[in-house]
Amino acid sequence: MQQNLLEEVETYFTGNTVSQTSVVVGESEEGVRKALIKITPLVLSSFIGRAERPGGPEVLWTLTHEAAESGVLPNLLTADTLQRRSDLMRALLGEAYEATAARIANATAVKSSSVETLLAIVAQAVLHRLASYAALHNMTPEELFDFLKSQRAQVLEAMLPGSAAGVANPSLTPASLGEAPPVGGVRAEAGPTPWAAVGGGHTYSSPPAPVAAPAASASRWAWVLALVVVGALAEYFFMHNQTPVAPTTPSVLGLTAAGTATGTATSTVPASPPTAPEGRYDAALDTYIYDPGRPITLTMVDGTSQTVGVNSTENRLYTFLADPKMQVDPVNRTKGWINFDRVTFDAKKAFLTDESRQQLRNVASILKSFPAAHIKIGGYTDSTGNVLANLKLSQDRANAAMAELVTMGIPLSRVEAKGYGGKHGIASNATPVGRALNRRISIRVTQK
């Protein structure tokens, strides 16, 4: 018999839990119960929609493992954990988030703020249950994705108008929920982002920013989340004993609360930068295709998030800016350069491709999170052809990347560009692979 995830998540919310939750959020038990019935299939539908987008199974896998780690006391009893789930639901529902909360509030006679709290609680419950199921059955990310997809019929049935969970509004249909903005990436044009599975890495968390909310509010978050965990804690310990989880520090592998004005967020980063770029040479395109690595999520101070590779330009740039131990070398200006892995141009031209603009958007978002940072864009060619023509082409390409960042909101005073032509190659120009590696655009932080 097919397991019903919807029913299993609902078992987290026992009569006693609902009663205590109603006291904490200041709502009636009946209102909380009605809201949970509507919220649970909505959250499941949102996760199904996100998992079906490019890179979705890996994103889902990352989030479930983070939920499993945060399921251990006392790490779970923090306002930050629940705030991350609230940020997650806001990212999943996008512009419909506020309106969705308001519609559920109107349908259940509870406050919109209470609905938002319950959305976060249910999101944690769903992810925790998925993590438990994946561990129990020794699933891969793809198998977990298939299991989640198998729940579509029950979820959609629960959301149909006239059902207990249905909300009479055309924008709350299953089809619309499947088109919610992705968790990963600054909101931009949708496109394929196939990430290869690469293991390894360690964690880094920048210093936490002071929470601006009153202490009573943080306590309220902790109490609510604690109620959810009590029923699932025994199951978690069973899961944790069955499947070893790679060591991580708290608050990693998932969406995090936005940081301070100087930019704080959380990511998973490699233990050390790769000594040689991973990827493959495409002879047909005469281009080197970089392998960005296992997908992770970065969250910026404005609440937007990116799903990028662990070895990507974005993650390496973010890590340099966020880690206080990594400083700009004021003497050796050849150090600290980070190659863009997805900024490319038409052959012998300085016209950016659409994929290039996507990565530049991500970089612009990171720079906005660290407003004190200044950067330099470097353009490079291989050593074939006319030296002066190569120098001009490299400068034009560096200028094009710089101009794109400026149009995306980065002040011109924070960015400079320089073309180096065929100088400073990173590989031998004797082979097609080496020449493809040498044709590149790079970024260097000149001030933190």
- The rounded distance, in Å, linking the Cα atoms of 383 and 4 is 61
Type of residue at 25: V
CATH class of this structure's domain 266-447: alpha beta
Say what the pLDDT of residue 398 is: 94
Q: Residue 410 class from Cβ within 10 Å (0-12 exposed, 13-18 middle, 19+ buried)?
A: buried
Residue 190 region by backbone torsions, left for phi larger than 0, else alpha for psi between -120 and 50, else beta:
beta
Task: Give me the tens of pLDDT residue by residue for the chain, a chain 448 residues long.
Answer: 457 888 877 776 777 777 777 776 788 989 988 998 888 889 888 888 888 877 778 888 888 877 776 654 344 445 666 777 788 888 888 878 888 999 999 989 999 998 998 888 888 888 888 888 888 889 898 899 888 888 888 888 887 655 556 553 333 333 333 333 333 333 333 333 333 322 222 222 233 334 444 444 444 545 544 544 444 443 333 333 333 333 332 222 233 323 333 344 444 333 333 345 788 998 888 889 999 899 999 888 777 889 999 999 999 999 999 988 999 998 888 899 999 999 988 888 898 888 889 999 999 999 999 999 999 999 999 999 999 999 999 999 999 999 999 989 999 999 999 999 999 999 999 999 999 999 999 999 999 9
Q: Residue 75 class from Cβ within 10 Å (0-12 exposed, 13-18 middle, 19+ buried)?
A: middle
- The rounded distance, in Å, linking the Cα atoms of 235 and 5 is 15
CB 269 within 8 A of CB 203: yes
Say what the pLDDT of residue 247 is: 31
Say what the pLDDT of residue 392 is: 94
What lies within 8 Å, CB to CB, of 398 at 6+ separation is 377, 378, 379, 417, 418, 419, 441
* This model's pTM is above 0.85: no
Say what the pLDDT of residue 81 is: 67
Task: Give, as one character, the DSSP assignment of residue 96.
Answer: G
Residues pairing with 442 in the sheet: 339, 378
Backbone angles phi, psi at 268, to 5 degrees: -105, 130
Say what the pLDDT of residue 370 is: 93
What is the DSSP code string of 104-130? HHHHHT--HHHHHHHHHHHHHHHHHHH
Within its chain, how far is the Cα of 258 from the centroid?
Answer: 12
- The rounded distance, in Å, linking the Cα atoms of 259 and 209 is 6
Say what the pLDDT of residue 71 is: 55
Backbone angles phi, psi at 441, to 5 degrees: -120, 135
Residue 376 region by backbone torsions, left for phi larger than 0, else alpha for psi between -120 and 50, else beta:
beta
- Picking from 63, 365, 37, 47, the residue whose alpha carbon sits closest to that of residue 180 is 47
Say what the pLDDT of residue 330 is: 86
- The rounded distance, in Å, linking the Cα atoms of 61 and 233 is 20
- The rounded distance, in Å, linking the Cα atoms of 44 and 129 is 11
- Give the start-to-end residue ranges of the domains of the chain: 5-180+212-242, 266-447
